[in-house]
Amino acid sequence: MDSSELLPVGRRVAYWRRRRRLSQQVFADRLGRSKSWVDKVERGVRSLDKVSMLQDIAAVLRIDTIVLLGRDTRPAEVAGQVEGVERVREALSTYDIAVGRPAGRGGVLSAGRLARDVSLAWVTFQHARYPQMIGSIPGLLAAAQRVHADDPVTGLSALVEAYRITASLLVKLGEVELAWLAADRAMTTATGDAVLVATATVQLGQVLRASGRARAARSTALAAAYRIAPPDLDGAPAPGVSLCGTLVVQAALAAARDGDDRSTVDLLDEAAGMAAQVGDGHDHYRTAFGPVAVDLARVAAALDLGDAGAAVAWHEKTTARDAWRWLPTEHRAAHLLDAARAYLHAGDPGNAARTLLAAERTAPYEVRHRPAARAVLAQLAHDPHAPTTIIQLAATLRVT
């Protein structure tokens, strides 16, 4: 458990402000408040009881609102925005296989049919069709668990992949603790197979970062990466290099979240060397790893390190390349959200609004169902010069 989770909300604000290396005055300026107001919030003299203000603070601190509020608390607006998550929770809490309940009316799927269903689930995720995924995940998990119970060898990879997909979706939706359960299941199931463990660690790293455990994310990702790293990159199979490089990127993002700028640069440069061997346009192990993916990670890292100018520069340079369009829809939309945040922090709300709207056009559900996106939208909607399209989108999504 991160020590910040035990603190009152005002103290958590102070904790994360210091982690982001912001003075009270700079923090206050970014919020449009006075330094005295910030001081009172951090000392608990002034309460934070408006969802919109909590979202604004979380956006400036570059954390999810759930992290700001603590592990077991979240605004009703965020908790209720996506229907069907409870069914996913129930699927992860079911122990039918362990207690020997018989398969349902359809019986156990064939391994081939399950493999196709898992592949379809990944495609659905990469197209950011999150409501469709929420509806299909419970059935996919049940089917994968039964195939694995019927044939542990043949069903192993599919079950790990089903848990990976589930964790990826839940992180998107801000359901961090539930995502951790899915990632933990993936790691436990994969134990004994170094490559499967490495694939599961990609999602585990995302979950650990989202829950404020950056150092654990970094050490776990590096351990998994170096366990599968080829002794010589020249001539090494592209899938293995992609997986190793993706884990190094995860470690770099964790280092940035922890404020370690030197390690962040070193790790991203190491990943860039691997990406040069792989090239763009591939999706080995569902990583979409390549030179463009590494440079997009530089945007997110620069944001976490508080360098919005560098984040904007990397965004504009990288998205001008043709290979940018080869990335999965979900990856591009998620990056555009990072870029919108970068423009906001750089004091350019106009470009931030245009970039957020580009994300919404690219993948509507990326904006409509992610708490991080709604926080950016709320901040933009408060700007007195916000374009009509932003105001309309905020009204449609009931973002205040």
Q: Could you state, in order of their start, the residue ranges of all structural domains in the chain?
A: 1-80, 84-201, 212-314, 328-400
Q: By C-alpha distance, which of 135, 191, 141 is closest to 167?
A: 141
Q: Tell me the C-alpha distance between 93 and 141, whole Å.
A: 11
Strands (E), 34-87: none
Q: What is the largest CA-CA distance in the chain?
A: 64
The per-residue pLDDT for 235 is 85
Q: Per-residue pLDDT tens for 228-284?
A: 999 888 889 999 999 999 999 999 999 998 889 999 999 999 999 999 999 999 999
What pLDDT band is residue 142 in, cutting at 50, 70 and 90? very high
225 close to 251: Cβ distance less than 8 angstroms = yes
Q: Tell me the C-alpha distance between 7 and 12, whole Å.
A: 6
Q: Tell me the C-alpha distance between 22 and 26, whole Å.
A: 6
Please tell me which residue, 385 or 181, carries the higher pLDDT value. 181
Average pLDDT of the chain, as a whole number: 88
Give the residue-averaged pLDDT of 291-310: 95
* Residue 326: count of CB within 10 angstroms of its CB: 16
Give the residue-averaged pLDDT of 204-229: 94
The per-residue pLDDT for 7 is 58
pLDDT at 400 over 80: no
Q: Does domain 1-80 have CATH number 1.10.260.40?
A: yes
The per-residue pLDDT for 49 is 60
What pLDDT band is residue 105 in, cutting at 50, 70 and 90? low
- The amino acid at 302: A
Distances in Å between the alpha carbon of 244 and those of 76, 247, 290, 330?
Answer: 39, 5, 12, 21
Q: By C-alpha distance, which of 260, 322, 255 is closest to 291?
A: 322
The per-residue pLDDT for 145 is 92
User: Minimum mean pLDDT among 54-58, 132-136, 213-217: which range?
Assistant: 54-58
Task: State the residue for tokens 């408060």.
Answer: 382
Q: By C-alpha distance, which of 51, 83, 52 is closest to 368?
A: 83
pLDDT at 79 over 70: no
The per-residue pLDDT for 378 is 87
What is the 8-class DSSP label of residue 369?
S
Q: Per-residue pLDDT tens for 131-141?
A: 899 999 999 99
State the virtual CA torsion across 72, 73, 77, 82 in degrees, nearest 10.
-10
pLDDT at 30 over 70: yes
Give the residue-averaged pLDDT of 209-227: 94
Please tell me which residue, 19 or 224, carries the higher pLDDT value. 224
Instruction: Give the pair of three-digit tokens for residue 226.
Output: 């170096």
What pLDDT band is residue 1 in, cutting at 50, 70 and 90? very low
The per-residue pLDDT for 34 is 87
What pLDDT band is residue 313 in, cutting at 50, 70 and 90? very high
DSSP track, 236-284: --HHHHHHHHHHHHHHHHHHHHTT-HHHHHHHHHHHHHHHHHH-SS--G
Q: Tell me the C-alpha distance between 31 and 38, whole Å.
A: 9
Q: Burial level of 384, CB count in 10 A (0-12/13-18/19+)?
A: exposed
The per-residue pLDDT for 97 is 67
Q: Tell me the C-alpha distance between 183 and 95, whole Å.
A: 17
Give the residue-averaged pLDDT of 311-326: 97
Q: By C-alpha distance, which of 285, 291, 216, 286 is closest to 250?
A: 216
